[in-house]
Chain A
Amino acid sequence: MAEYSAFSLLKNALNGNRDWKQAWRKPDPKPSYEVIVVGGGGHGLATAYYLAREHGIANVAVLEKGWLGSGNVGRNTTAVRSNYLLPQNSRFYEHSMKLWENLSHELNYNVMFSQRGCLNLAHTPGQLDDYARRGNAMRHEGIDAELMTPAQIERLVPGLDMSASARFPIIGGLMQRRAGTARHDAVAWGYARAADRRGVDIIENCEVTGFLRDGDRVVGVTTTRGEIRASKVAVAVAGHTGHVMKLAGIERLPIESHVLQAFVSESLKPFLHTVITFGMGHFYASQSDKGGLIYGGDLDGYNSYAQRGSLPVMEDVMSEMLALFPSLARVRVLRSWGGVCDMSMDGSPIITTGPLPGMYLNAGWCYGGFKATPASGWCFAHTIARDEPHEFNAAFTLDRFHRGILIDDKGQGSTPRLH
């Protein structure tokens, strides 16, 4: 019987919840492992889980400098979608979507994956044409996409200003119905628990401070809890990739770290039943089950490792929200925070062997890596176990930038803050 079930819930309720097992152990690090995963965010934890589950490699440690969920896995706005234009991206993200669709079952942990849809609003005929093209590209890959008319949008999202006098009138939109949201903490906890149950050591408050080398080869790490050796060291530290890789002597990477903010409003009656994005700037929102609006917009726009943003961007985000939903003008913001995003030069990720022997790199998630969590872990585990990429991540190399085979979904060029 599954450890978490309606029956076990009832049983534990009746005896005062005394018999629940710890969700994951707090082991001390062993002197060596087969694989060390640096970074206990969603991607690191998923990697460890799939190493154990798909490849039978359970002698794995996940080293996390803080506590689980303290990075972006617990800071994102939880949107999950696979509405990309380029096949390298759409195949990878659609694989992720399929893993999401069974994730609660697979992990025996309710990640509250809710396929409430994601609607990209169009405000100009050119933009609508562009969405039609993207929708066609998606359907060509077997991914669901539909163009919506203003009348359909008005019915779906009654709070929107659909009038012709809106600052940016809405003339249509691209909908992916299988997209949606998931509870981000549950994703971290669910993968952690499932990996732990398969024998993975999850070691919190253990910061990697250097890499052990044997010549060129990486053979382990130094940490705030001592030296730990491993035949394979996999780095999945998202926004911290720049300075962690410097510890290994990699001075420059095609990545800049930028801060992205998120906002939560006070609770409102349910009125927004889908994820929605504004097309004339950068704003997106969804409504949580508790009723709060979860929303965000642009990066602050300059390099930053500080997990907080500045006021001008907040003002922008609020004004964009009001352009869509004028009726929200008096709703109060409850909380806001920032997270450090690893912006790659083409907006697409890196999941690869190297760049040093014995090392593996997972980075460049920009502000869209939450939805990638299952596929990222799945592909990274494959790459680590087999020493070669799966076809789903074969294009996400580090040397693609110098070889001129970029995957620039938005066609923004090498200005990472614009992706």
Chain B
Amino acid sequence: MLITCPYCGPRNVSEYTYQGDGNRTRPDPASTDQAAWNEYVYDRLNPAGDHHEIWQHSGGCRAHLRVTRNTLTHVVTEVSFARDAGHRKSERHRKPGAHA
């Protein structure tokens, strides 16, 4: 499997670290809405088909990437920098080093 990093170009999957499902929205850290947190932590769409996910090019430029990949064929159709995905209010409060 190859993922084309927008910065480094096409690289083997072994250079990347899977950060998981990118369909989830992290609740505001100040939120005490238990249902929203539970959903964020435990519930997954898990589609058979196109899947939005976060990968880090940990063996390369270390950028976090938003990737669209088909879970049936493993074909990657879209890659962009996660930081370009638009900042939600909660993201500005995130601790440095926290997972995407």
Contact = CB atoms under 8 A, between A and B. Distances in A.
Contacts of A302: 18, 53, 69
A403 to B, nearest CB: 9
The dominant DSSP class at the A interface is: mixed
B42 A254 contact: yes
Interface in A67-117: none
Interface stretch (A10-18, A191-199, A215-223, A304-312): A304-312
B41 to A, nearest CB: 5
B45 A305 contact: no
Contacts, number: 68
A242 B48 contact: yes
Interface string B6-21: 0000001110001011
B39 interface: yes
A136 to B, nearest CB: 31
Interface residues of B, number: 26
B30 interface: no
Nearest to A413: B41
A208 to B, nearest CB: 14
Q: How large is the interface on A (under 10, 10 to 19, 20 to 34, 35 or more residues)?
A: 20 to 34
Contacts of B69: 302
Interface string A331-355: 0000000000000010000000000
A254 B43 contact: yes
Interface in A220-267: 240, 242-243, 246, 251-257
Contacts of B42: 254, 345, 401-402, 414
A327 interface: no
B47 A242 contact: yes
Given A252-B43, A257-B46, A312-B12, A301 B18 contact: yes
Interface string A42-64: 00000000000000000000000
Given A252-B39, A252-B45, A304 B20 contact: no
B25 interface: no
Contacts of A402: 34-35, 38, 42
A312 B71 contact: no
B74 A306 contact: yes
B72 to A, nearest CB: 5
Given A255-B46, A256-B46, 15 more contacts: A242-B45, A242-B46, A252-B45, A252-B46, A257-B71, A305-B71, A305-B72, A306-B71, A306-B74, A310-B13, A345-B42, A401-B38, A401-B41, A402-B35, A402-B42
Interface of B: 1, 12-14, 18, 20-21, 34-35, 38-39, 41-48, 51, 53, 69, 71-74
Interface of A: 240, 242-243, 246, 251-257, 301-306, 310, 312, 345, 401-402, 414-415, 417
Closest 8 CB pairs of A and B: A242-B46, A252-B43, A312-B14, A401-B42, A243-B48, A254-B42, A402-B38, A305-B48
